[in-house]
Amino acid sequence: MQYTPAENRYQNMRYNRVGASGVRLPAVSLGLWHNFGDVDDFENGRAIARRAFDLGITHFDLANNYGPSPGSAETNFGRMMKLDFHAFRDEMIISSKAGYLMWPGPYGEWGSRKYLVASCDQSLKRMGLPYVDIFYSHRFDPDTPLEETMGALDYIVRSGRALYAGISSYDPEQTTRAARILRDLGTPCLIHQPSYSMFNRWIEDGLIETLDEEKMGCIVFSPLAQGQLSSKYLKGIPEGSRASKHTSLPADVLTPARLEQIRKLNEIARSRGQSLAQMAVAWTLRHKAVTSSLIGASKVAHVEEAVAALDRLAFSATELSAIEAALK
């Protein structure tokens, strides 16, 4: 059936400015790392993407290797663009990345100009798009001069393949260097994409300050720690959940101590009148430097729940210390 987006889609979403740039991102964005590959149900992914757009989520995050199979999330998203979203391209921010292993041989991963430019062209072809809005270096490459990797991002922007450049999972020192190189080239680094959740707080150790100094945006991935920060695992590992699939969330992460933390956090969320998943999203957005919380979803209801987190973003000092105590 022909897709007609909800008319009120921009009424309730918050849009935060990305660093000092002209562009704004929704406070909640949708990532297509899992559940959009060729092993997944296309219609389920399509329903998730449509619902996200209806709720004001204008940003869809991809990478060359998302699937499985690698590349298939971009192919499926390209189909969705054709079927549902082609008329709304100018209302969307679509990103892709290159950095992890994508094809065999010496040019299929890391940070060379050869790999980044070829991978970007492959991503555009899979998605059927003339350009993406943001193209990222997915990881820092210790063996390639940073000037080469950033030079490739600058070229990708100047050649019209992307509108903005981004970096993902770079540490503070690498970020400062990358930002300086890109600034000197005349293509400012728009945004950093690091992991961040109550269970993974590395960005509090300098990166947030660096991004503030560099006036870069910050979109944090896996705010639910891949689903751990929800009530899902409190009664064991449900069939079909990410921890049951032996992919990126090893079941042995869910130790008795971790489950105890989740139980305590669940209680705190309940006392705030929120689900734990909602509190997890809200908690990542409490930093002014965090532009957007980048969630994943295997069901339409996950997107709805995450967006409803925006109804209760504020934390009292007592709630924040209760969370710290639960994480001890």
Give the relative orientation of helices 72-80 and 113-127 as an angle to the nearest 10 degrees.
40
Stretch that binds ligand NDP, among 123-131, 158-166, 210-218, 292-300 (CB under 6 A): 292-300
Task: Output the CA angle 89-94-99, nearest 5 degrees.
Answer: 150
CB 151, min distance to ligand NDP, A: 21
Residue 292, interface with ligand NDP (CB under 6 A)?
Answer: no
Count the alpha carbons within 13 Å of 127 in the hemisphere toward its beta carbon: 32
Asked if 230 interacts with ligand NDP (CB under 6 A), we say yes
* Those residues with Cβ within 8 angstroms of residue 272's Cβ, 6 or more apart along the chain or in another chain: 279, 312, 319
- Which of 30-38, 104-112, 177-185, 307-315 is the region at the interface with ligand NDP (rule: CB under 6 A)? 30-38
Span of 43-51, 144-152, 218-226, 263-271 interacting with ligand NDP by CB under 6 A:
218-226
Total residues contacting ligand NDP (rule CB under 6 A)? 29
Q: How far is the CB of 169 from ligand NDP (least distance, A)?
A: 5
Indicate whether 274 belongs to the interface with ligand NDP (CB under 6 A): no
Question: Should residue 141 be labelled a site residue for ligand NDP when binding is judged by CB under 6 A?
Answer: no
189 binds ligand NDP (CB under 6 A): no
Q: Please give the residues from 31 up to 50 whose contact with ligand NDP meets the rule CB under 6 A.
A: 31-35
Under rule CB under 6 A, residue 137 binds ligand NDP: no
Ramachandran bin of 173, using left for φ above 0, alpha for ψ from -120 to 50, beta for the remaining angles: alpha
Q: How would DSSP label each residue in 67-110?
A: TTTTTHHHHHHHHHIIIIIGGGGGG-EEEEEE-S--SSSTTSST
CB of 71 or CB of 227, closer to ligand NDP: 227
Task: Determine, following the binding rule CB under 6 A, whether residue 174 of this chain makes contact with ligand NDP.
Answer: no
Among positions 93-112, residues that touch ligand NDP (CB under 6 A) are none
Q: Select 197 or 210, whichever has its Cβ closest to ligand NDP.
A: 197
277 binds ligand NDP (CB under 6 A): yes
Q: How far apart are CA 18 and CA 26, in angstroms?
A: 10
Per 3-state DSSP, the chain is made up of helix, strand and coil in percentages (nearest 5) of: 45, 15, 40
